Structure 1
């Protein structure tokens, strides 16, 4: 097993965040996880001044017709954006982390 499969998505996201913190980045950029009213979750990760800033990402839409199992991720305005159903937060973080750790 790789460390990606044995370490939780939250722990990996914390490590990615900490690796970006350079005394400046964390003051104007960052990560936001919020609830949605449909219900669900949103994830916004600023890519400015990170190794991911210019990296391509293929938009993902999964089970979009489902009320609870849906997931979408894309890049917009220098940010990784994700939204998902109420039980898909960890999977959405995994999508970001798999993409972020691929290099």
Structure 2
């Protein structure tokens, strides 16, 4: 979860982190559920359709974003895949932002 940690730290400005943040919980599947509040960040408004992925070694991940909250659920050994997907989402948003003309 190195990228998500870095992304979180980069958005902490003395105000944002008091209202928004990241929640990570275990599930009884077993697995994880992650919620990253992207409001008031560069990812606000970025929609990611819900997608289920079968991962190596029997792992799994479901992820989506409604433009306000990025959510993912995954198997107990799959947090790295969530981190990588979130990083790709961020890079994609930056590419779109960089291509906008004023």
Q: Going by fraction, where is strand more abundant, 1 or 2? A: 2
Q: What does 1:70-89 align with in structure 2 at a 5 Å threshold?
A: 70-76=60-66, 78-89=68-79
Aligned residue number for residue 63 of structure 1? 54
Shift of residue 75, structure 1, vs aligned partner:
1.6
Q: CA deviation at 1:24?
A: 1.1
CA distance in 2, matches of 1:21, 1:101: 19
1:26 aligns with 2:17: yes
Q: CA deviation at 1:77?
A: 7.1
| Residue pairs, 1:41-60, within 5 angstroms | 41-60=32-51
Runs of 4+ in 1 over 6 A off after TM superposition: none
Bigger share in helix: 2
TM-score, scaled relative to structure 1: 0.78
Distance 1:71 1:14 in 2: 19
Query: Secondary structure of 1:101's match?
Result: helix
CA deviation after TM superposition for structure 1 residue 56, in Å: 2.5
In structure 2, what is the equivalent of residue 7 of structure 1?
Answer: none
TM-superposition CA deviations, 1:65-96 (whole Å, max 9, x none): xxx52210012471000001111111112111
* Structural RMSD (CA): 1.8
Structure 1: how far apart are the matches of 2:82 and 2:88?
10
- Structure 1: gaps of 5 or more residues: 1-9
2:46–2:66 contact (8 Å) kept in structure 1: no
